[in-house]
Structure 1
Amino acid sequence: MADVSVDEIPGAERRQAETTIPIERIAPNPDQPRRSFAPEALQELADSISAKGVIQPLVVRRHPEKAGHYQIVAGERRWRAAQMAKLHELPALVRDFDDTEVLEIAIIENIQRADLTAVDEARGYRQLMDRFGRTQEQMADALGKSRSHIANMLRLLTLPPAVQDHLDAGRLSAGHARALVTAADPASLADEVIAANLTVRQTEDRVRKAKAGQSPRQERGRANGDKDADTRALERDLSTALGLRITIDHKPGGESGTMTISYKHLAQLDDLCRLLSRDVF
Structure 2
Amino acid sequence: MAVSKKTSSSKSSSKGLGKGLGRGINALIPEEPAETNEKVIVKEVVVKEPAETKVRLSQVEPNREQPRKMFDEDALIELSESIKQYGVLQPLLVQKKDNYYEIIAGERRWRAAKLAGVKEVPVIIKDYSDQEVMEIALIENIQREDLNPIEEAQAYQRLIKDYRLKQDEVAEKVSKSRAAITNSLRLLKLDSRVQEMVMEGKLSNGHARTIIGIEDGDKQYMIAQKIFDEKLSVREVEKLMRDLDKPEKPVKQAPENDFIYRDLEDKFSKILGSQVAIKNKNNNKGKIEIEYYSQAELERIYEMLKKTQE
TM over 0.5: yes
Please state if 1:127 is matched with 2:172.
Answer: no
Counterpart residue number, 1:25: 59
Question: Percent identical across equivalent pairs?
Answer: 41
Aligned pairs for 1:1-281 within 5 A:
16-63=50-97, 66-67=98-99, 69-184=100-215, 185-213=219-247
1:228-259, Cα deviation, whole Å (9 max, x unpaired): xxxxxxxxxxxxxxxxxxxxxxxxxxxxxxxx
SS in 1 for 2:50: strand
TM-score norm. by structure 2 comes to 0.62
Paired AA for residue 179 in structure 1:
T
Residues 18 and 92, structure 1, Cα contact 8 Å, conserved in 2: yes
- The higher-RCO structure (CA 8 Å, 6+ apart) is 1
Q: Take 2:48 and 2:115, find their aligned partners in 1: how far apart are those partners?
A: 31
Paired AA for residue 30 in structure 1:
R
TM-score norm. by structure 1 comes to 0.68
| Runs of 5+ consecutive residues of structure 1 not aligned to the other structure | 1-12, 216-281
Paired AA for residue 101 in structure 1:
E
Deviation of residue 213 (structure 1)? Answer: 2.9
Q: Take 1:26 and 1:125, find their aligned partners in 2: how far apart are those partners?
A: 26
Residues 117 and 167, structure 1, Cα contact 8 Å, conserved in 2: yes
SS in 1 for 2:165: coil
Q: Take 2:126 and 2:148, find their aligned partners in 1: how far apart are those partners?
A: 28
Paired AA for residue 70 in structure 1:
Y
Q: Which runs of 4+ in 1 moved over 4 A?
A: none
Paired AA for residue 234 in structure 2:
V
Structure showing greater radius of gyration is 2
| Runs of 5+ consecutive residues of structure 2 not aligned to the other structure | 1-46, 250-310
Residues 68 and 146, structure 2, Cα contact 8 Å, conserved in 1: no
Q: Take 2:152 and 2:248, find their aligned partners in 1: how far apart are those partners?
A: 33
Deviation of residue 92 (structure 1)? Answer: 0.5
Q: CA RMSD in A?
A: 1.7
Paired AA for residue 88 in structure 2:
V
Count of residues in correspondence between the two structures: 200
SS in 2 for 1:60: strand
